[in-house]
Structure 1
Amino acid sequence: MLEDKDFIKSCDVPGPTKEAIRAIILYKSEVSNTDKVVDCGCGTGGITCEFSQRAREVISIDTNPEAIEVCRRNLEKFGLGDNVTLINDNGSNALKDIDNIDIAIVGGSGRELENILDVIHEKLNPKGRIIITAILVDTKVEAINKLKELGYNPKIMEANVSNGRVLDRGIMMISENPIAIITAKKR
């Protein structure tokens, strides 16, 4: 796993997804070296970098051109990216040109989550996996409802990672923002 502190960051680009959360996402995805992965809302590229080490192909999408640039720089920094395509576009539009998806990760949807999930559903291979990360309660509800409407049996996990800071008189645990990880497999 790549360490959070090693990523190039930007004030205008969210991320990277925390290391512990990336580990859970990798585990839940059941990624293999034959998988084609789409990272929709790639931000700084934390998930893109992890999957590029494990999957056959990764396609990363973000509407923010600065996010695409920071993601590219992180891939370069870690010596990754030979199997990565970066696309600066909105998710639902970019996904229309991508076929045979094995794993779709949606971390940012720009208020287009339902449209993005509709396109992913059409493009997802049989037994394909969808993983959605959500911080807002509204996004969690929207994702679950849309996945159910599309015929999936979604599962949701709430993760709240706390890291310790050693003080003179003890250890203080500092909580990072809670995030839901929603998973579903195509039947």
Structure 2
Amino acid sequence: MGVYSDSLQQTLTCIVASVVIVVCLGVWSAAASEPAQAVVERFDSLLLTTMKQGEQLSFDDRYDKLAQRIDQDFDIRRIARHRLGDRWSQLSKDKRRGYTARLRESLIARYAHTYNHYAGQRFDICGLRSLGRDSRQVEVALIDSHGMRRVTRYTVARDAGEWRVVGVSPATGFSGPETARLMPRDTPKALFGGLERRLEGGPRV
């Protein structure tokens, strides 16, 4: 009886292990087949971790954590060019470089300022649409504990084999036809750090 019981237990263990492997392979295959979605999910995972550590991390800490991921997975120059439209071609190389740098800082700072508190929220991919062979639109909803949803649409494109975010809607950071002229000389990191202190106790995500 003991031998039979051990054999049955081993069989069940093997079955469970096989099911787990099959499920994992399915998840990995799905991620591999949709690398654009994987880029957004990786960023959302970092945002959620940052939110959960919101009480321990300062604004600068959140900024530095998010900067590493955004530098890797966002094509800031392409986002900048898209936001300025025809005005981009009218700018000198130095002005393009300066605008792109300030837009990067603004983008990171806005995320660091906004995603600073955890209260049971979660991220769900709620849409995936092909915009062409090498471009996707990924919709992600931030859902709070009451079921309220905030949807962000990421445009993710492949260039030289790498999938990167090339557009965010609603726009995060400075934008508009006169942005290059109106952008403050102070870094958005310092700007939003001061803003966060002034808004302390205000609404959070």
TM-score where L is the length of structure 2: 0.23
Q: More strand by proportion, 1 or 2?
A: 1
**Which one scores higher on RCO, CA 8 angstroms, separation ≥ 6?**
2
Question: Larger Cα Rg: Structure 1 or Structure 2?
Answer: 2
- Give the number of the structure whose residues are more often helix, by fraction: 2
